[in-house]
Amino acid sequence: MSSSNHPLSRRAFAGAVTAGAAAAAGVAASAPEALADASGTPSERPFRAARERRAKRPNILFILGDDLGWADLSSYGSPHIRTPNLDRLARRGVRFTDAYAGSATCSPTRFSLYTGRFPGRTKGGLAEPIADRSAGLEPSHPTLASLLREAGYATALIGKWHCGYLPDYSPTRSGWDEFFGNFGGALEYYSKLGLAGEYDLYEGDAEYRDLRYYTRIITERAAEYVSREHDRPWLLNLNFTTPHWPWIADGDTEQSAEIVRRIKAGDRNALWHQDGGSVDKYREMVEDLDRSVGRVLAALRRAGREQDTLVVFASDNGGERFSYNWPLSGNKASLQEGGIRVPTLLSWPARIDGGQVSHEPVFSPDWTATLLELAGTRPHPAYPLDGASLAGYLLRGEAAPRRDLFWRVRGERALRRGNWKYYRGKTGRDQLFDLAGDVREQADKAAVEPARLAELKAAWERTDAGLLPY
């Protein structure tokens, strides 16, 4: 199921080193070139499990960026954004070139990660994304957190929840022992005002007043959590809002005040910030995200827990207006590659060697299944998972799971099988792409591969038939 067309797989990984050397010399970084050691051997090698190792159940730190594009990290080929901390995480583990979000927008992807199931299996997952208080993740539904808690884990969620609002929905009702963050899909970074003008920073189910820059606040909280003396393994879901709009970097207090003025004046579109932002401002926000992740990982190292902590970093969907998605087509809200393929890094030094790259297709529900297996527990039998565990692939040298990756959003459908992708966009036309040679999805093979198109379309429709209707 590996994809053979990965133009950035080794070349892009060298971006951080190339950029760092250029910055030190005071010159602009050129396009990343293949990183090699003294013998000329590329430093990023194809993934291979280190099967002889044993380790206790890991702590789990799952970090989500918000609307971060596939190539917005220097290790994925960004020509202008420098992310040395995330590049270090990649060097200490595995970089996935063909990793996908469970959906094309914020809340359904979170449903897919927390439940391990397609968003369309739950009523709350039908919202794309949740925009009012009528939808949410039902507290009765098993989650990654509730299942790990039953297996003896401490659980916490810091940052963006976006799976429903109080009083009916909350992380503390769905398996997380602790919650500190925001309930909605977006907030102004200083005032903490949300889309409806509500204050949206909470500790548990109570408002928490702090008017500093939001990314600073949740970074501090996460660093404190991983530094604690824990008497059992833990799960921390760390969900940044960076680099989601509004386009406000740390220190942009005048821009913040203007957006707050518009919100208080009744402008319901103020947070969308359609008249603001720039490529350079976006760069500031992504590089701030990188520094923030670096602070949390540094706290983990100081606490002596880096070796025994499994860290996953990913984005909740593809990039938006200012993202760098090349060579992918489409962006957030689309089921083209640019809307669902996301940067994904994994590190677990106790069990997995560093400096590796994997081209196996994986998506959000797979991480749920994988983490449950690594924690020594199983999904609830009444709620079977749609993801496949990667534990055998990552730890035991087994082949990666062979199955279809399925997506459905209003007006679009997609299914990936091996290197082939079936896609129907809002034009209503069925298309077929061979991602091995056409990751940009420009050469439609539907007319020359009608049997394959029919097979993948039928597979999509069989899965769709088992989901809740819109």
Catalytic residues: 106, 162
Q: Could you tell me if residue 408 is left (phi over 0), alpha (psi between -120 and 50 degrees) or otherwise beta?
A: beta
* CA 23 to each of CA 29, 213, 280, 322, 391: distance values in angstroms, whole numbers, following the listed order: 7, 27, 17, 23, 39
Q: What is the DSSP letter of 28?
A: -
Q: How far is CA 221 from the centre of its chain?
A: 20
For residue 146, the one-letter residue type is S
Dihedral (CA of 354, 356, 362, 364) sign = positive
* CA 14 to each of CA 38, 94, 135, 317, 468: distance values in angstroms, whole numbers, following the listed order: 15, 14, 43, 24, 44
Strands 412-417 and 99-100, how do they pair?
Answer: unpaired
How is residue 113 written in tokens?
């990660």
Rg of the chain taking only CA atoms, in angstroms: 21
How is residue 259 written in tokens?
């957006």
Whether the CB-CB separation of 129 and 381 falls below 8 Å is answered with no
How many CB atoms are closer than 10 A to CB 338?
Answer: 26
How is residue 100 written in tokens?
């996908």
Q: What is the DSSP letter of 173?
A: G
Q: Angle CA(386)–CA(184)–CA(189) in degrees, nearest 5? A: 125
Is the peptide bond between 469 and the residue preceding it cis, with omega within 30 degrees of 0? Answer: no
Strands 178-182 and 202-203, how do they pair?
Answer: antiparallel
User: How many whole angstroms separate alpha carbon 406 and alpha carbon 365?
Assistant: 11
Q: Which of 176, 195, 179, 175 is nearest to 187 (CA)?
A: 195
Whether the CB-CB separation of 9 and 359 falls below 8 Å is answered with yes
Query: Helix %, strand %, coil % for the chain, to 5?
Result: 30, 15, 55
Q: Which of 361, 372, 294 is nearest to 63 (CA)?
A: 294
User: How many whole angstroms separate alpha carbon 19 and alpha carbon 84?
Assistant: 9
User: How many whole angstroms separate alpha carbon 99 and alpha carbon 359?
Assistant: 8
| Cross-strand pairs, 362 | 99
